[in-house]
A and B are shown apart, each in its own frame.
Chain A
């Protein structure tokens, strides 16, 4: 009896140790990179970027975004060779805040093609990515499903499960990462439903610079809708009006408060 209790005690201690280890802070490596992204003379956001040892998998990259009104957001990307996942939520410098949005796993170009097990014809399955936003969930296929009107509507509905600031913050980071790469978001091109090529990046810049994209041809309008509805109701008009984005060194005291 006593021996049994002793074993139980050891097991509980062991489990507690595992839990404690899981909550250990991420071992960051290298310096914290900082900067501010400007649209014309207006600061869109400032950021702090840190990452784990790039030679070890999974690679965790965390971006703390500070918006002009002082709101803080945290975007964390956990990358593996075959996929990556993204967490998004509010951030506080004084207490831990659980992320509200989870997107993953998003397959990378190195991901193997998933086959239907034991199917002689070699049928493959479509790898689905989950978007969890608040209490809402949606499985979808990145990036093809972004171009499907029904899925665009569902994505928008799913994002409604969270506050509007969050998709806007993520959207700004993703768009800025294409126009002024700063070390975070460039690898997440698939989240915008575009292929990560130089031509596509240029096309995106051209498209954003057009004053009224919806007024163009039918097919183009559909593609544009896909961009804008990925992160619903994203207000990209500022970019579209031709204001160039640029990155500057961040002022040390900008958004340093809690």
Chain B
């Protein structure tokens, strides 16, 4: 009776010592932190923290958060989780209750046909309303009109205008910020090919200049953000070469 038990313990210990490091202890997560702010025009500040632990060239899985501050009273969060080509989910969360816009693709979604899943079509959810749409169709007049109508159910025209202006200002500039699939749907003019040039100037925010106060309201609303903010993240530049620093 005792021999098999001892053998099991020995085998378990041997497996633990011989196993690869990732199994022997908890996998170390890799976070990357980027923070940029505008140096002209509307004061825009974007903090991005990504979990790239599982990001590979062949399977670019990632999840992350962006905290956007775009002038007085204009703040929003962008949360995403991407496991291409199977599924992805992007959310834009405003300051007020109900201001949650989610665009996702998942084989479990009954609204999507297999053909639409293969094409990369997703489901846009704004409040309790849903629309099936493809990102590349976001500029079509009917799509714009319908998305606009849904967004105005949860955002005021001024809030929506301010969010779009911020996405537009950042989107036109060559910065190392994830844009995902949702932002081009919300602000279709911001990512037009051959569109207007970058007119704003951005710089990387040095680590010692971080203003942590503006992050707090987001943390209280979205617990998921807290995990990213507390992570020990490697600093990565967000402003690409050639832009003003």
Chain A positions near chain B (C-beta within 8 angstroms): 126, 128, 138-141, 144-145, 148-151, 153-154
Alpha-carbon separation in the docked complex, A128 to B141 (Å): 8
Q: Which of A128, A141, A149 contacts B137 (CB 8 A)?
A: A149
Given contacts A150-B140, A151-B140, contact A128 B145 (CB under 8 A): yes
Additional A-B contact list (13), CB under 8 Å, known A145-B141, A148-B140, A150-B143: A128-B145, A139-B146, A140-B141, A140-B145, A144-B141, A145-B140, A149-B119, A150-B142, A151-B137, A151-B143, A153-B132, A154-B142, A154-B146
Which of B121, B131, B142, B146 neighbours the largest number of chain A CB atoms within 10 Å of its CB?
B142
Chain B positions near chain A (C-beta within 8 angstroms): 119, 121, 131-134, 137, 140-143, 145-146
Q: Chain B residues near A148 (CB, 8 Å)?
A: 137, 140, 142-143
> Measured between C-beta atoms, what is the minimum distance from B77 to chain A in Å?
26
Q: Chain A residues near B131 (CB, 8 Å)?
A: 154
Alpha-carbon separation in the docked complex, A149 to B112 (Å): 13
User: Which chain A residue lies CB-closest to B138?
Assistant: A150
Alpha-carbon separation in the docked complex, A138 to B142 (Å): 8
Q: Chain B residues near A144 (CB, 8 Å)?
A: 140-141
A151 touching B142, Cβ below 8 Å: yes
Q: Chain B residues near A145 (CB, 8 Å)?
A: 140-142
Alpha-carbon separation in the docked complex, A150 to B142 (Å): 9
> Measured between C-beta atoms, what is the minimum distance from A23 to chain B in Å?
33
B142 touching A139, Cβ below 8 Å: yes
Given contacts A139-B146, A154-B146, contact A126 B134 (CB under 8 A): no
Q: Chain A residues near B146 (CB, 8 Å)?
A: 138-139, 154
Which of A139, A144, A145, A150 neighbours the largest number of chain B CB atoms within 10 Å of its CB?
A150
